[in-house]
Structure 1
Amino acid sequence: MSELINNREHRQELLKEVIRELHRGRTVDEVKQKFKDVIDGITHTELSQIEQELMNEGLDVKEIQRLCDVHAAVFRESLEQVKKPETIPGHPVHTFKEENRAIEKHINENLRPALEDFKRNGTAESASELLKHINLLMDIDKHYARKENLLFPYLEKYGITGPPSVMWGVDDEIRELLKSIIKDLKEYNVNRKSDVIEEVNKAINKIIEMIFKEENILLPMALDTLTEDEWVNIMEESDEIGYCIVSPQIKWKPKRENVKGAEEQKLADETSNGYIKFDTGILKVGEISAIFDNLPFDITFVDKDDVVRYFSNSNDRIFARTKAVIGRKVQYCHPPASVHVVEELLRDFKSGKKSHEDFLIKMGDKYVYIRYFAVRDENGDYLGTLEVTQDIAPIKALEGEKRLMS
């Protein structure tokens, strides 16, 4: 994403310099010409924040007031062109809201009529029709997964942890409700008809409430907090998880240019092409990445401060990972209901009580073996935790010997 302004602080400094130059006597046309790239795409909120920061740094409020019309003149063209993100196809907020409209439409046009038919008849056929619509509604898991694994990590970086944690807990309640309904309808027993009706109504109410909370609390808060480049990152990572009922038809392409210049990127590229020396050999960064991504299992590393620092990126990962988890506390990467297990495991590793822990989970035709290892240095000091995840079903099925190449 070299075409984007990918450094929040750098952009803010340039925007402040725009206003400083106006206060030094430069004309509107001079400043607009010099700072054209950084001015493009500025929002009203961003302009207000920049003015506030300059006042915090000592610029007299009266001086700001004196030239506020001049500030507006510099940014007016850009401000007038800025569309609200929720109206821009491909922007993550637009996608979240489009999914919500599709969910509401499915509930009102398909699910509620099927539920009414089930109430009247309670036959196996009406149960099967209801199950079909509940199965489609289960697609909401992707909507929630993008919210939890892409949007929440950025909010957490700004210290906003309360609402995400509460919402994730409710998301899980909805998931469990839908799974329970699906199970009851697959094994339909007429004696549980009233229970199924109650569960479906409860799920619908919770989903509608969650839509309200997303669009009136979560998304406005995120729009006020996240930078444009962070929204771009969310968009780029969204395909990895998938979409609910509908998906964006186009990619959102912001207009911002990389005002930091090509030289800095060139320097970074040259550095990344160097070798890294190990005790048992040397490898290039690209070679290390390729090796990890071709391992027959997935790995994730969490450092000594419980921060996710790395995950391998194989083509057939068992559990979805997005780059948004990098730099995120591992506790926030798990549903609230299981955080206590994570914390207990990390305490045991840090104290030296344990050095590894294993889990086994059946997932359809997969038999998932999840192993956690405490990573320690030569002095035995704890450096972090390594998670290794592998589908061992093919291994369990092995018999005999194989001594010849296929």
Structure 2
Amino acid sequence: MSTTLCCNLFVVVAAPMNSILCCKLFSIRPFHFRNVFSTIAHSQSLVSLFDSSKLNMSEADITRILKLAPQFQNPRALLKVEQFIHSLKKHGCSEVQIAKIMKTMPRLIGRAEGTLEPKLKLLEDFGFVDRNLAKLLTINPSILCNSLNSSLLPKMVFLKEVFQSQDVLVKALLKSPRLLSFSLEKNLKPSFAFWQGWGFCGTGLFSFLRVQPDVLSRTSLTPARVDLIHKIGVDKESKMFKYIVSIVAVSRVETLEAKIENLKYCGLSAEEIWQLFGACPLLLKFSKENVKKKMDFLVNTMELPANYAVKHPGILTVSLEKTTRPRFLVWQKIKSINDFNIAFFTVLLMTEARFVSKIIKGHPESQTLWTIYENAISDASNRTLRTESSTKP
């Protein structure tokens, strides 16, 4: 009797199965023992290996790995798994991160044999060490499926030239790790040339990609996106233009159009909206709910015209609950006590320390103002906690 079959029979006997039923099953379909119970035995071997490696793998995880990578049913393949785990640990990956990588891409274990160490060493040479390397692999383990010399190395060399420094390269790839999944010749190089054609070059291109590295995966702008960029009306030579393009390039047109309609609903004309985005393109990234709350507070509570936001767009970029509302309540109280000639927007732009020392502590009614301010901050924190608890399942 073969060693494998003996092992399988041992598993069956050890398992909580009726012995008579086992005998009947063996007499009818002996090969069933070789196939099915060998899988059980190897599954147990994987369990032992993962336990010794301190990987928190459930039986369901192990079953999935064996299903997607059946080659690990061979006992000799367990050595590959062990080497894979050892290599990742040596390069700074924790047990939790290794388990996540293996569960995400079990096929990677076998494919990485022999080339895993050189690939990890290459990534380290380009600045990915310890925590950064572990984070990159956890986010996108398919990076290790790239061929070392014909794919991974040329991409890393090209991207380092694009981002001009190793530190920026590391930050860019941690922000957009899927860049290493794109073809160098079909995607990355044509995209780089495309953005140069849009007027981005030298330090301008570098700044553009540093803000939004994911645009390097795009080789075109739809007519709707181009139309939005032109309507905002910022000069091409302006640094603001590059920032606007970087946001529009990676945003859904439908989402941007919804934000524009939302501002119209808040009382701004189309011309004022384009002027607002041109002065403060950061607003293109804010949710329409966020902007609507701030505009409602501006118009209904502060009783200011909607176009005040166009003249002072900074009022829409700070936190309503933590900054605008508490400071407005203090400012409003001071105005009711005496003639106060400091504009609210000036108060809003102050640092926290300057606001407290100049506006609150420097006033005769400082105790009253301080109480108003603290209560407003406390109410904001309570509202945040209530919102968070209501959204939890």
User: TM-score band (shorter)?
Assistant: under 0.3
Q: Which has the higher Rg, Structure 1 or Structure 2?
A: 2
- The alignment's TM-score, normalised by the length of structure 1, stands at 0.22
More strand by share: 1
More helix by share: 2
Greater relative contact order (CA < 8 Å, ≥ 6 in sequence): 1
- The alignment's TM-score, normalised by the length of structure 2, stands at 0.22
